[in-house]
């Protein structure tokens, strides 16, 4: 049995399979996932697990060189926006309207659904390299 890090078998597999520049998403419980994008559904109930819990676990395992957010997070969910900026300090961000982010998410290799119930805590991450 794995002792630490991401224990969820499918999520661990997806993270391990990431290559440089691959996109993947962490989203709230209501974020639509486009057809063809693998879904890692972690949502158990409202708020479980939180977006922050999942983001923290994923960032311990995956190298990120860029990320994409909805413009709306700036005005409708400043606490999550500030948290993302803190956790990804120094990593460039790009913003787009939420509808465009939903369309853009079709390029993701996989999407992680959390139990988050706050508005717009959806991020598309671009995998980096560790060397």
Residue 5 lies in a domain: no
According to the annotation, is 28 in a ligand binding site?
A: yes
Residue 98 lies in a domain: yes
Q: pLDDT above 90 covers what percent of the chain?
A: 98
pLDDT digits (tens, 9 = 90+) for 45-96: 999 999 999 999 999 999 999 999 999 999 999 999 999 999 999 999 999 9
To the query of whether residue 76 is one of the catalytic residues in this protein, the response is no
pTM across the whole model: 0.97
Q: Which band of pLDDT confidence, cut at 50, 70 and 90, is reported for residue 1?
A: confident
pLDDT given for residue 125 in this prediction:
99
Domain residues for the domain of 53 are 20-127
Residue 10 lies in a domain: no
Q: Which listed residue (4, 8, 20, 81) is catalytic?
A: 20
Residue 12 lies in a domain: no
Contacts 24+ apart (CB under 8 A), 50-53: 50/114, 50/115, 50/116, 51/26, 51/80, 51/114, 51/116, 51/118, 51/121, 52/80, 52/83, 53/114
Residue 89 lies in a domain: yes
Read off the CATH number of the domain in which 38 is found. 3.40.1650.10
Q: How far is CA 10 from CA 15, 16, 52, 66, 109, in A?
A: 9, 10, 19, 23, 13
Residue 87 lies in a domain: yes
Residue 119 lies in a domain: yes
Residue 11 lies in a domain: no
Provide the domain count of the chain: 1
């Amino acid at each position: 049995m794995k002792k630490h890090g991401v224990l969820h078998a499918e999520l661990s597999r997806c993270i391990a399979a990431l290559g440089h520049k691959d996109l993947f998403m962490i989203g709230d419980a209501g974020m639509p996932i486009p057809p063809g994008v693998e879904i890692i559904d972690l949502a158990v109930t409202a708020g479980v697990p939180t977006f922050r819990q999942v983001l923290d676990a994923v960032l311990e395992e995956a190298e990120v060189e860029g990320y994409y957010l909805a413009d709306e997070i700036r005005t409708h969910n400043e606490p999550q926006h500030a948290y993302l900026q803190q956790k990804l300090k120094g990593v460039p961000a790009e913003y787009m309207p939420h509808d465009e982010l939903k369309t853009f998410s079709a390029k993701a290799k996989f999407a992680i659904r959390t139990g988050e119930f706050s508005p717009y805590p959806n991020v598309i991450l671009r995998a980096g390299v560790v060397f």
